[in-house]
Homo-oligomer: A and B are copies of this chain.
Amino acid sequence: MFFPKEVEIIEVGPRDGLQNESMFVATEKKKELVKFLSKTGVRRIETASFVHPKAVPQMADAVEMAAFSNELGIEYIALTPNMKALGRAIECKVPQIAVFVGATETFNQKNIRASIEESLAECNLVFKKAKACNLKIRAYVSMGFSCPYEGNVSYEQVKRVVEHFEKNGADEISVGDTNGQANPRIVYERFSRLKDDFPNIEFVAHFHDTNHFAYANVVAALQAGISKFDSSIAGLGGCPFSPGATGNVSTEGLVKLFDDMKIETGIHQDALHEASQFAKSLFM
Residue contact B256 to A184, C-beta cutoff 8 Å: no
Q: Say yes or no for A188: interface residue by CB 8 A criterion.
A: yes
Could you say which residues of chain B place their CB within 8 Å of the CB of A185? 1, 3, 260-262
Q: Say yes or no for A216: interface residue by CB 8 A criterion.
A: yes
Q: Is the interface of A mostly helix, strand, loop or mixed?
A: helix
Q: Say yes or no for A248: interface residue by CB 8 A criterion.
A: no
Residue contact A213 to B1, C-beta cutoff 8 Å: no
- Chain B nearest CB, measured from A202 CB (Å): 21
Select the stretch in A73-81, A217-225, A266-274 that faces chain B.
Answer: A217-225
Give the residue of B181, B216, B223, B256 whose beta carbon is less than 8 angstroms from that of A215. B216
Could you say which residues of chain B place their CB within 8 Å of the CB of A181? 260
Tally of chain A residues near chain B (CB < 8 A): 24
Alpha-carbon distance between A78 and B257 when the two chains are bound, in angstroms:
35
- Chain B nearest CB, measured from A177 CB (Å): 12
- Chain B nearest CB, measured from A246 CB (Å): 13
- Chain B nearest CB, measured from A220 CB (Å): 6
Give 1 or 0 for each of A19-55: 1 = CB within 8 Å of chain B CB: 0000000000000000000000000000000000000
Residue contact B257 to A188, C-beta cutoff 8 Å: no
Give the residue of B3, B184, B253 whose beta carbon is less than 8 angstroms from that of A212. B253
Give 1 or 0 for each of A235-276: 1 = CB within 8 Å of chain B CB: 000000000000000000100110011100000000000000
Give 1 or 0 for each of A195-225: 1 = CB within 8 Å of chain B CB: 0000000000000010111011011100100
- Chain B nearest CB, measured from A98 CB (Å): 27
Alpha-carbon distance between A262 and B189 when the two chains are bound, in angstroms:
13
- Chain B nearest CB, measured from A265 CB (Å): 14
Give the residue of B3, B223, B257 whose beta carbon is less than 8 angstroms from that of A213. B257
Residue contact B183 to A257, C-beta cutoff 8 Å: yes
Alpha-carbon distance between A165 and B261 when the two chains are bound, in angstroms:
29
- In this complex, what residue of B is CB-closest to A215? B216
- Chain B nearest CB, measured from A219 CB (Å): 5
Residue contact B257 to A216, C-beta cutoff 8 Å: yes
Give the residue of B3, B212, B223 whose beta carbon is less than 8 angstroms from that of A1. B223
Residue contact B253 to A184, C-beta cutoff 8 Å: no
- In this complex, what residue of B is CB-closest to A250? B212
Could you say which residues of chain B place their CB within 8 Å of the CB of A186? 260
Residue contact A213 to B213, C-beta cutoff 8 Å: no
Q: Could you list which residues of chain A lie within 8 angstroms of chain B, going by C-beta atoms?
A: 1, 3, 181, 183-186, 188, 209, 211-213, 215-216, 218-220, 223, 253, 256-257, 260-262
Q: Which 3 A-B pairs have the closest CB atoms?
A: A183-B260, A215-B216, A185-B261
16 A-B pairs with CB atoms under 8 Å apart are: A1-B188, A181-B260, A183-B257, A184-B215, A184-B257, A185-B260, A209-B212, A211-B253, A212-B212, A213-B215, A213-B260, A215-B215, A216-B216, A216-B218, A219-B220, A223-B223
